[in-house]
């Protein structure tokens, strides 16, 4: 599945300072849908090059990281259970820095 990912609020530093990533994510074995849960695991393995604890805690994002799917708060679509579709845009913004 082709997706566009954006990392902001300092998270880009964990992905070699690259803010935008066009990725192709394989569905998990035997699944017919890709969930945010699956995507997060994929991102941790494939995109996060250092300090993964800054991005994730357990199977979700670290508290303080906002997630938007197609410019909508993932809290509206079920957080980890949000299902993704082809060409979706997912944005991760960290709020954990000085203001």
Q: Is 58 in the site for another protein (CB under 8 A)?
A: no
Q: Is 41 in the site for another protein (CB under 8 A)?
A: no
- φ, ψ of residue 96 to 5 degrees: the values are -90, 65
Q: Is 67 in the site for another protein (CB under 8 A)?
A: no
Q: Is 64 in the site for another protein (CB under 8 A)?
A: yes
Distance set, CA 49 to CA 21, 31, 40 (Å): 14, 27, 14
Q: Is 27 or 46 the residue whose CB approaches another protein more closely?
A: 27
Contact residues for another protein (CB under 8 A)? 8-10, 13, 62-64, 66, 68-73, 75-78, 82-83, 85, 91, 93-99
């Amino acid at each position: 599945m082709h997706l566009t990912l954006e990392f902001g609020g300092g998270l880009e530093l964990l992905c070699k300072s690259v803010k935008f990533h066009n990725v192709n994510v394989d569905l998990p074995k035997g699944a017919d849908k890709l969930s945010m849960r699956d995507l997060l695991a994929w991102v941790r393995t494939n995109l996060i090059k250092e300090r993964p604890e800054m991005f994730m805690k357990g199977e979700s994002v670290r508290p303080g990281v906002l997630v938007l799917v197609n410019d909508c708060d993932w809290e509206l679509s079920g957080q980890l259970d949000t299902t993704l579709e082809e060409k979706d845009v997912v944005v991760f913004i960290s709020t954990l820095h000085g203001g």
